[in-house]
Amino acid sequence: MSYVVGVDAGGTGSRALAVDLDGFRLGRGASGGANPNSHPYDVAAARIAEAITLAIRDLDPADCKACVVGMAGSSKLTDPQVAAVFHDTWGALGLGCEIRVITDQEAAFASMTSEPSGTILVAGTGSIASRIENHRMSRVVGGIGWLLGDEGSAYWMGREAVRAVLKLLETHVPDGPLAQAVLIEAIGTVGDDHQLLWQRLITAANAEQPIRLARFAPLVSAAYASGDPVAVDIVTRTVDVLAGMVADTRSPGEQSPIVLIGSVVGPESPVGVLLRERLGDLPIYFSTEGATGAVWLAAVDVLGPSAPRPSELVRG
């Protein structure tokens, strides 16, 4: 039986999906994180291979007609030495095709729409917006990491929350919901000595990896719901930044789809709600995983753009 495989390889987990050429599911597999930016190359390659092996465990590897891996950190494979590690590991699978690697954003976009072009906005711990043209990423806005950017991300929101509380502490002990929550989370107390709180908050924030500031982002969302003006300001500025990133990937008046991914722009997040309002009547989708997009793009490699979308139905 001819079939195709798609993989969503992220930082915390990898998921593989095998479907036949009619789109019916034949198997699933899962393994650990496989982003080569955060895992050893041999480990990342082996985890993707494990997810594929589990997805095709009841199938003949030689019958696989196309395999697409949507990988976070895929740019690492532009290094020939890194690519060789993946090629050698995957070669042992015995698939009847070469494995094609794409970005996780391309896979996530295709997971929600068959349209060839549009925008995908990722706003989780970090942030990046990409222009998709003919199913391929053609332009990037952001995505340069916490040190140089990541505006509109959970890291950025958390940093802005801590900075705002420090500013308040310079003159008095802040008593708003966000300030109270940040102090409890960071140092375990709210106290009444604002100079001591100021010093302890600076110490606590600098004692951890900078990216850990992302943990304060949910506190911003919670305080926004209670009307805290500091939280409202941070949420509003976050929406401004992300809407600008989306606009930078599109032509004026364009009606192509926008796919959102990440906790900051989730369906229940105040940033996500306000951002969708800002974007108006454009077709907007929220993606939670890219394996279905990757496997559909694998089917497109075989059948062309008329390839059926993957179905959760299992071939009987």
pLDDT at 3 over 80: yes
Selected from 3.30.420.40, 3.40.50.2300, 3.40.50.720, 1.10.1040.10, the CATH number assigned to the domain covering 3-113+288-303 reads 3.30.420.40
Selected from 3.30.300.210, 3.30.420.40, 3.40.640.10, 1.25.40.10, the CATH number assigned to the domain covering 116-282 reads 3.30.420.40
What pLDDT, on a 0 to 100 scale, did the predictor assign at position 180?
94
Report percent pLDDT > 90 for the chain: 78
Supply the pTM of this predicted model. 0.87
User: 140-151, pLDDT tens digit by residue?
Assistant: 999 888 888 889
Confidence band of 314 (pLDDT split at 50, 70, 90): low
- Across 158-175, average pLDDT: 91
Domain ranges in the chain with CATH number 3.30.420.40 = 3-113+288-303, 116-282
What pLDDT, on a 0 to 100 scale, did the predictor assign at position 315?
61
User: 281-301, pLDDT tens digit by residue?
Assistant: 899 999 878 899 999 999 999
pLDDT at 313 over 90: no
Contact 216, 162 (CB under 8 A): yes
CB neighbour burial string for 109-130, b if at least 16 within 10 angstroms, e if fewer: bbbbbeeebbbbbbbbbbbbbb
pLDDT at 136 over 70: yes
DSSP reduced 3-state for 181? helix
- Across 51-68, average pLDDT: 96
